[in-house]
Structure 1
Amino acid sequence: MLSLPAKPVQVSAHVDFVRLGETTLQACLVSEGLVGRFGQTAEGKRQFVSVHVPGELVDLPSVMMP
């Protein structure tokens, strides 16, 4: 069995838990609710680029890349 470190965190709605341009050192597993990923337009507006559902790992590629 694989044992991975985990730190459960509850994030309220409308709160950025990884800010735009921030480097992360861990991946996030969505256990409940929905998580939206967005980019920023040249005018500074947010544009959704993906939605993550329970069971998905978010930011996994950023953990694998140096």
Structure 2
Amino acid sequence: MAKLSGIFDGVVGEFKKVAWPTQKELIDSTMIVVVFSIILSVFIFGVDQVYSTALEYIYN
């Protein structure tokens, strides 16, 4: 039981060292990820459409 208590004490100690983001930083980072994901998805969709059209033209 002492080992388990030591583990939890270590975890709590490590959590105190973490530099937690502010709410504004978290929202800004989340928006960056969402916007980048949408842009990347649209780009991949566009490339897929171009390849599909090219292969359809080649094989038909």
Q: TM-score, normalised by structure 1?
A: 0.18
In terms of fraction of residues, the more helix-rich structure is 2
TM-score (norm 2): 0.20
Find the structure with the greater CA-based Rg.
Answer: 2
Query: Does 1 or 2 have the higher relative contact order (CA < 8 Å, sep 6+)?
Result: 1
